[in-house]
Structure 1
Amino acid sequence: MVELTPLLWSLLALGALIVGLSKTALPGGSTLAVALFAAVLPARTSTAALLVLLIVGDALALLMYRRHADWKTLLRLAPAVAGGLLVGVAFLALADDDGVRRTIGAILLLVVAFTFWLRRRTAAAPPLGAGGRAAAIGYGTLGGFTTMVANAGGPVMSMYFLASRFEVKAFLGTAAWFFAIVNIAKLPFAIGLGLLTTQTLLIDLVLVPAVIVGGLAGRLLADRMNQAVFERVVYLLTIVAAVYLLL
């Protein structure tokens, strides 16, 4: 375990704050937290520490938006996401860290471009959530894959929920349930691989208040954010996340 100076603790606290914000107001922003944690902690430790904080953020989001979820969309995505998780496990066994990051970054940029084109192609196009089975399979598989290998499923699923044309609270509620279920499903893998240690959990215990503060601030922000601004922020954060992973 690295020795944590006040500066490093500050960076981790900022990452935890971003986790809370991403769960209650700015979907896709959690990838910025991935970057901060990876810069401070060893790779395996950072993944496990962040997973626990993401679950705390999921719990906050569920408290705030649990009634706004679109369960038809979640059930439609479930088989593909499960398949993506398994593909992610296999990919991790074969690829190195650089290959993983760059592959995900390239996928995110392609997903952004495709989603933007789909949304702009015609105002009359039906939303994906209305029955786009192929889209659910594609986005769901990518979402499961990217969340398994790098805790980076947020941007992919943000693009799917945007393409489904959810209003802000339906978007956040559906995302809350999606990631709560997926992240809890990932927890046994982290425990089985020995990634969650007493030291890791102690770091998380210190950082949990920052997640809560970020989540509460995000709720205030979401209540004041109109749909157009919300969608632009999601696109921007997804592109930033993709560029970070590519570099």
Structure 2
Amino acid sequence: MLYFLFILLVLLTNIIQGITGFAGTVLAMPFAILMFGIDTAKPVLTVLTTLACLMVVCRSWRSIAWKEFGRMFVLMFIGVFAGEYLYRQASPDLLLPVYAVFIIAIALRGMFQKEERDLPPACLMLIVLGAGVIHGMFISGGPLLIIYAVKKIPEKEQFRSTLSLIWIALNIYLLAKQASAGLFSAPTLHLAVIGVPALILGVAAGSILAKKMSQEVFLRLTYILLLISGATLLL
């Protein structure tokens, strides 16, 4: 039953990932932590989200906004180092409630903020850096990064492909660190393999839906799901 729920989780969250280019891991992570623990959830979802993003990039690499990719990657890579350090220093009992509150805050902001505010360039840079910190801790920097990305990459296909390439680049580094730390045990790899068919189906379905339905509708759905997942982890 646990494996069935995990497969269903991977399928549904990667439909959203295929549509938006960012939300799959942050939706899946709270439930995966509850199912298997954080030290298993992180490497498994790192593998799966990297594969999901690779599928998106292979289909739409011509749409990548390379200039914005370079800016976001440099700042987020710096933030990832800080996030890894914080993760090693703090206990999960402290980190998980903070993470849950972060998810809920991002969800409420997306649901109730009627229009994007103009932020100073320095503030936007700090937001991207903060996205890197969260990604280094929980592989879930997407909700913060979109605050920057929606302003700089308004075209939907560019948005999806550029963000997907960001996650691939950062996750390759994280995968290497996780492997060197011995997190890829046989059960962990088995769980990742189990999720691959559901991931492929989910991303393919999400890519089709992304062409037929508006980004606004699915972003609203994503924020609702974020609220549910954050509240579940907090409770």
TM-score per shorter chain, which class?
0.7 to 0.9
Q: Following TM superposition, by how much is the alpha carbon of 1:234 offset from its aligned partner in structure 2, in angstroms?
A: 4.2
Show the counterpart of 2:8.
14
Q: Following TM superposition, by how much is the alpha carbon of 1:95 offset from its aligned partner in structure 2, in angstroms?
A: 1.1
Q: Following TM superposition, by how much is the alpha carbon of 1:28 offset from its aligned partner in structure 2, in angstroms?
A: 1.8
- Relative distance call for 1:233 and 1:64 in structure 2 (3 A) is farther
Q: Is the 8 A contact 1:65 1:173 kept in 2?
A: yes
Q: Following TM superposition, by how much is the alpha carbon of 1:13 offset from its aligned partner in structure 2, in angstroms?
A: 0.3
- Relative distance call for 1:192 and 1:55 in structure 2 (3 A) is same
Show the counterpart of 2:40.
45
Aligned letter for 2:9? G
Q: Following TM superposition, by how much is the alpha carbon of 1:222 offset from its aligned partner in structure 2, in angstroms?
A: 0.5
* 1:76-98 per-position Cα deviation (integer Å, ceiling 9, x unaligned): 12232122111111111221113
Q: Following TM superposition, by how much is the alpha carbon of 1:18 offset from its aligned partner in structure 2, in angstroms?
A: 3.1
* 1:48-96 per-position Cα deviation (integer Å, ceiling 9, x unaligned): 1111111111111112222222122121122321221111111112211
Question: Number of matched residues?
Answer: 233
* 1:181-234 per-position Cα deviation (integer Å, ceiling 9, x unaligned): 111111111011110122321222222111000011101110111243244234
Which structure 1 residue ranges, 5 or more long, are not aligned? 1-6
Show the counterpart of 2:217.
229
- Relative distance call for 1:83 and 1:243 in structure 2 (3 A) is farther
Aligned letter for 1:24? G
Q: Is the 8 A contact 1:58 1:180 kept in 2?
A: yes
- Distance (Å, rounded) in 2 between the aligned partners of 1:29 and 1:36: 12
- Distance (Å, rounded) in 1 between the aligned partners of 2:141 and 2:164: 13
Aligned letter for 2:3? W
Show the counterpart of 2:55.
60
Q: Is the 8 A contact 1:102 1:245 kept in 2?
A: yes
- Distance (Å, rounded) in 2 between the aligned partners of 1:202 and 1:109: 31
Map 1:1-247; keep pairs closer than 5 Å. 7-26=1-20, 27-108=22-103, 119-121=115-117, 133-164=121-152, 166-247=154-235
- Relative distance call for 1:236 and 1:64 in structure 2 (3 A) is farther
- Distance (Å, rounded) in 1 between the aligned partners of 2:59 and 2:226: 23
Q: Following TM superposition, by how much is the alpha carbon of 1:22 offset from its aligned partner in structure 2, in angstroms?
A: 3.3
- Distance (Å, rounded) in 1 between the aligned partners of 2:152 and 2:107: 14
- Distance (Å, rounded) in 1 between the aligned partners of 2:133 and 2:185: 25
Aligned letter for 2:115? R
TM-score where L is the length of structure 1: 0.82
Q: Is the 8 A contact 1:16 1:207 kept in 2?
A: yes
Q: Is the 8 A contact 1:24 1:219 kept in 2?
A: yes
- Distance (Å, rounded) in 1 between the aligned partners of 2:222 and 2:156: 11
Which structure 2 residue ranges, 5 or more long, are not aligned? none
Q: Is the 8 A contact 1:146 1:152 kept in 2?
A: yes
Q: Following TM superposition, by how much is the alpha carbon of 1:120 offset from its aligned partner in structure 2, in angstroms?
A: 4.5
